[in-house]
């Protein structure tokens, strides 16, 4: 079986990278990070609509629904590039809301998400919130923050480019709103209903969100590896580039190994789409993003600890993403359960063989 990227997949990845280089250069990232938190501008709606126009959110919708009819492997490539550029915004939630929430597919509606009580990113910029809890996926219009989102409180985020709100408790959907929503999308603009529910498996949606988040972590890990190697080639010590020293070479080699192992795991999970594969991919991608950023910072020395160096933005975003959709603890529990279930199947199969032959 050939696991190499097809020509179309390579073109999709290159197109996304070119767009982000042109529309979200380093200067915009720094501007977002350095803005006063009290005066920080909301998401760039023009860029969000442009992402919608090129199909970032509708990528997996059928052509009949206005999408490209592609799959998770292609979505993973797109989200990897977004993570590489540290593109801010609730990308996974808006991508998963395409086909569920009106305007999400074309980028005219920004959708964030919650898993019951917990943290929601970019709530101030969002038009709707997906609540992935219980047997249904429900969507709330944000509006003026009244109703089910009234208890949301801003929380200081370690990542200056990812504002967070905390909801201390989950909310039940009024029966009338749930009954009325079984067959339709949430009309966010001017919506009077409190919530809309969709016949979508919340478990599958959470798994896909975890995988897309892992893809963003993978992109960040690859970018910090590039930054470390570039610095090792240009920075000189004792008349030689520091990349000539074995200790630095070993550090970069470990970063490369983490990145490629995470890449293989994320790509494989996008094809297999089992909970065990996704949990393993999330764990490996989280580790690669966090540890690569820390090693990159260490390799930069005193420069790496300054605000002017971009590496701290990758580390802070990696910390935030590590806790989203599937935290380390939940991923470990899910992976352990999947491995134990698989081990039980293997033992049963082996026990049924003659003389236990394999």
Residue-level pLDDT at 45: 92
CA–CA gap between residue 223 and residue 151 (Å, rounded)? 37
Tokens read off for 27: 């200067």
DSSP labels, 98-167:
TTTBTTTTTTSS-EEEESSSEEEETGGG-SEEEEEETTEEEEEE-TTS-GGGTT-EEE--SSTTS-EEEE
CA–CA gap between residue 70 and residue 212 (Å, rounded)? 15
CA distances 30 to 124, 143, 175, Å, are: 20, 29, 46
Q: How many CB atoms lie within 10 A of CB 255?
A: 26
**CB-based contact 195:138 (threshold 8 Å):** yes
CA distances 139 to 187, 256, 325, Å, are: 10, 40, 17
CA 25 to chain centre: 19
DSSP labels, 215-226:
HHHHHHHHHHHH
Domain residue extents for the chain: 7-200, 204-340
CA–CA gap between residue 183 and residue 4 (Å, rounded)? 40
**CB-based contact 232:242 (threshold 8 Å):** yes
State the burial class of residue 85 (Cβ atoms within 10 Å of its Cβ: 0-12, 13-18, 19+): buried
Tokens read off for 26: 């380093």
| Chosen CATH of 7-200 out of 1.10.760.10, 1.10.540.10, 3.30.750.24, 3.40.50.2300 | 1.10.540.10
**CB-based contact 318:217 (threshold 8 Å):** yes
CA–CA gap between residue 259 and residue 286 (Å, rounded)? 10
Beta bridge partners of 114: 131
Please list, in sequence order, all residues whose beta carbon lies within 8 angstroms of the beta carbon of residue 48, skipping any fewer than 6 positions away: 89, 94, 107, 110
CA angle in degrees (0–180, nearest 5) for 10-290-293: 80
What would the CATH number be for the domain defined by 204-340?
Answer: 1.20.140.10
Q: What is the pLDDT along the chain (358 residues), one digit of tens a residue?
A: 567 899 999 999 999 999 999 999 999 999 989 888 776 667 889 999 999 999 999 999 999 888 889 999 999 999 999 999 999 999 999 999 998 999 999 999 999 998 766 788 998 899 999 888 777 788 888 875 555 677 788 888 899 999 998 887 655 444 333 333 333 454 444 343 334 555 678 888 999 999 999 999 999 999 999 999 999 999 999 999 999 999 999 999 999 999 999 999 999 999 998 999 999 999 999 999 999 999 999 999 988 889 999 999 999 999 999 999 988 999 999 999 988 887 554 434 433 444 444 3
Give which of 342, 215, 343 is closest to 270, Cα–Cα: 215
CA distances 289 to 183, 215, 227, 275, 281, Å, are: 40, 10, 13, 21, 12
Give which of 173, 113, 112 is closest to 148, Cα–Cα: 173
């Amino acid at each position: 079986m050939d696991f190499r990227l097809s020509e179309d997949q390579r073109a999709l990845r290159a197109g996304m990278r070119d767009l982000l280089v042109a529309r979200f250069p380093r200067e915009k990232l720094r501007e977002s990070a350095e803005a006063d938190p009290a005066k920080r501008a909301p998401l760039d709606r023009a860029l969000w609509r442009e992402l919608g126009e090129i199909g970032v959110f509708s990528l997996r919708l059928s052509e009949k629904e206005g999408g490209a009819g592609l799959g998770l492997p292609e979505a993973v490539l797109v989200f990897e590039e977004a993570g590489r550029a540290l593109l801010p915004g609730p990308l996974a939630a808006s991508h998963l809301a395409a086909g569920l929430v009106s305007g999400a597919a074309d980028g005219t509606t920004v959708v964030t998400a919650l898993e019951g009580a917990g943290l929601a990113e970019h709530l101030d910029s969002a038009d709707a919130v997906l609540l992935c809890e219980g047997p249904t996926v429900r969507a709330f219009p944000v509006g003026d923050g009244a109703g089910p989102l009234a208890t949301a409180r801003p929380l200081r985020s370690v990542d200056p480019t990812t504002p967070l709100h905390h909801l201390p408790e989950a909310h039940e959907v009024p029966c009338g709103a749930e009954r009325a929503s079984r067959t339709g999308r949430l009309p966010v603009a001017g919506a009077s209903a409190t919530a809309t529910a969709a016949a979508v498996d919340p478990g599958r949606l959470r798994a896909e969100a975890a995988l897309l988040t892992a893809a963003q972590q993978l992109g960040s890990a690859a970018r910090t590896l590039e930054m470390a190697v570039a610095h090792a080639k240009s920075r000189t010590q004792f008349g030689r580039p520091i990349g000539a020293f074995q200790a630095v070479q070993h550090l970069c080699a470990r970063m490369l190994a983490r990145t490629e192992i995470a890449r293989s795991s994320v790509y494989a999970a996008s094809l297999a789409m089992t909970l065990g594969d996704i949990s393993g991919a999330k764990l490996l991608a989280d580790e690669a993003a966090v540890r690569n950023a820390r090693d990159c910072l260490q390799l930069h020395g005193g420069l790496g600890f300054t605000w002017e160096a971009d590496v701290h933005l990758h580390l802070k975003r990696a910390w935030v993403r590590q806790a989203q959709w599937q935290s380390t603890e939940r991923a470990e529990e899910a992976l352990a359960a999947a491995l134990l279930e698989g081990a039980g199947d293997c033992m049963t199969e082996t026990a049924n063989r003659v003389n236990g032959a394999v």
